[in-house]
Structure 1
């Protein structure tokens, strides 16, 4: 699937999921809830300020049954109630509403009620960029601050499984650095080369992994050819594996604010799909993230 409309159409053909939303009292969040229900891809359990949720729902034409809304005294309590609903299998997916990422993730990682699996959790932001013939997936722009090589290997496996859920059976993954050559003084280039070799040796499977790449020769065939960078990933990357959270966060926001890209975002590696978008992201971005979570949930059930 190369567009969010294709992902949304695919989600419409699958069984709907139940999404537990933490701190749902927000216009953009509830507009996404309304649109997802209209598309028939999800049902919802909403946790947060009950009066405010109902007030916003009335303003935007979202009809809610009493059992769909649970009052929480704080956003932290809302996050714990949402993750408990998923843990108890009353919901299939957890979604971040108007709550800080740190509070949301604290609930996801809660030792008793959270969604830990023993794997490294990682974040993917998927972008539909004007002028590109494919979705571009950026990982990890939100969770892992300065991942080690073993952590990058797990992040890579997470994104491979995610791409498979979208129907891309052999994604092209570019491990990014500032330059496209190995420099012993630049750890990102050493890690990228190691990941590439791990892929060649069969330690990382289900994708083509190469690097290091600079951003230009990872996504532009013209740039790759001009610089003499070759291989099946060069200029054709589906996935941009960033070296650290600073690079990923800047790239994420550049895509949204400079490139005007459409976006969807998830946390990977948890016991259930977790929707993690920025509080500033649009209702459309949150809807696309819900659709991605539907595909992820279906893929997990079929594995």
Structure 2
């Protein structure tokens, strides 16, 4: 088919079609085809969408919906042969074998019989896979068009499959196979801050120690139908006391991680700095799973250090690199962000970026590839980087985004979460124990994902001490 022909859709009339004429198309089944068909039809048979179930089924793998193959017959009849103006009358099909992911199905429809009195045509329909094996056969009867139709081919919008549940399970998988860790939950006195650790406990990530006013915690659980059976509660009068008691649990080894509940960040961090500080500057990382980006993004620091100095940024980067190593990235790509990609004395973040890259060249920052200054688009888009002539192993494929200050970082993270449907996890690094630090508006899902990250960190700290 010529490029010009692809711009139009044209039919064959009843009079033009002869017995024995045929047309065919070929399509390859992709995972997103299965998900889209399931979403459109509502057919969530686990044979098609549940990998674990499918492994125990007769086919031993996920298979496509049988009707996905039959819709390809409709595609030929409605768009190619006879094409526009065709009206379905009836169809009878036999399904011989499953269509699995990666199978290429070739559909052939062949004119078998014509009826002059009503312009009906019966077509033989056949679908075979890439091995020539029959998948579907049968017949279709249609009312064929009597008038010639040629129309511009409609260009459909791109469709993206955003499987949030799958991405959520992927975030939780970072600590797969590890035993749950004791975590002190500070003042879990609203629904999300209490549901989060409970959900994380049910997922086998943590063993929560609930620290706060016991009566208030139990009332919150009762109001939201949350079961506190088996959870230890440390009763203290208010949020300040909860932060102090939770930090003490971490200091004496009763808890291996800390989790923020329904209290202000500065209340918690004041006690953390007083009781859990190390020689490293404490910083925060958002771990974002963005549907439109090929791998997770780390954004730092967007919650702790308001206006970081050059020395602060060194520790921010080192903290993030250590986390990236724990997550399995041997040499993460670190993009140091600014508004522009050139160094200028008018923008301090560009000077900092240049200094940080030189420090990496001299071995003061190790274990990663650094580049900067980079504007946001250059950091995450290869097209943008190439357009601006930036040659870099980091540009367009960053793993870690180091932001100029807390304001810009917080805006980047929240925009990804609320406008790009990113799944977020938030953790504090550089303290004696890892800390789940999320916004009071964050969901239980976000808090649970964050627990998976700190569970991994706690186990890595155990290994380092051994």
TM-score bracket for the superposition, by shorter chain length: over 0.9
Contact 1:7 1:166 in 2 (8 A): no
* 2:355 maps to which of 162, 170, 194: 194
Structure in which a larger fraction of residues adopt helix: 1
Give how far 1:172 is off: 0.4
Counterpart CA distance in 2 for 1:162 and 1:126 is 10
Give how far 1:74 is off: 1.0
* Aligned equivalent of 1:77: 241
Counterpart CA distance in 1 for 2:351 and 2:225 is 51
Counterpart CA distance in 1 for 2:281 and 2:229 is 36
Asked if 1:256 corresponds to 2:417, the answer is yes
* Aligned equivalent of 1:9: 173
Contact 2:183 2:258 in 1 (8 A): yes
Structure 2 regions of 5+ residues with no counterpart?
A: 1-165
Counterpart CA distance in 1 for 2:320 and 2:409 is 14
Counterpart CA distance in 1 for 2:323 and 2:338 is 23
Give how far 1:151 is off: 1.2
Counterpart CA distance in 2 for 1:230 and 1:63 is 55
* Aligned equivalent of 2:434: 273
Give how far 1:6 is off: 3.1
Counterpart CA distance in 1 for 2:321 and 2:167 is 18
CA RMSD in angstroms comes to 1.5
Deviates more, 1:18-27 or 1:196-205: 196-205
Report the secondary structure of 1:109's partner residue.
helix
* 1:174 maps to which of 312, 329, 335: 335
Contact 1:31 1:60 in 2 (8 A): no
Contact 2:174 2:453 in 1 (8 A): no
Counterpart CA distance in 2 for 1:56 and 1:145 is 33
Report the secondary structure of 1:69's partner residue.
strand
* Aligned equivalent of 1:127: 288
Counterpart CA distance in 1 for 2:392 and 2:216 is 54
* 1:63 maps to which of 214, 228, 248: 228
Counterpart CA distance in 2 for 1:176 and 1:41 is 33
Counterpart CA distance in 2 for 1:4 and 1:211 is 31
CA shift digits 1:140-197 (9 cap, x unpaired): 0011111111111111100000111111111100000110011122110011011111
CA shift digits 1:102-141 (9 cap, x unpaired): 101011112xxx1011210000011111111111110000
* Aligned equivalent of 1:33: 197
Counterpart CA distance in 1 for 2:238 and 2:255 is 20
Counterpart CA distance in 1 for 2:364 and 2:293 is 30
- For residues 47 and 224 of structure 1, do their structure 2 counterparts lie closer, same or farther at Cα, with a shift above 3 Å needed? same
Report the secondary structure of 1:218's partner residue.
helix
Which structure has more relative contact order (CA 8 Å, sep 6+)? It is 1
* Aligned equivalent of 2:385: 224
Give how far 1:4 is off: 4.8
CA shift digits 1:35-73 (9 cap, x unpaired): 1111111101101121221233343332333x6112221
Contact 1:57 1:64 in 2 (8 A): no
Give how far 1:7 is off: 3.9
Aligned length: 298
The TM-score normalised by the length of structure 2 is: 0.62
Greater C-alpha Rg: 2
Asked if 1:152 corresponds to 2:313, the answer is yes
* 2:266 maps to which of 97, 102, 106: 102
Contact 1:117 1:269 in 2 (8 A): yes
Contact 2:167 2:423 in 1 (8 A): no
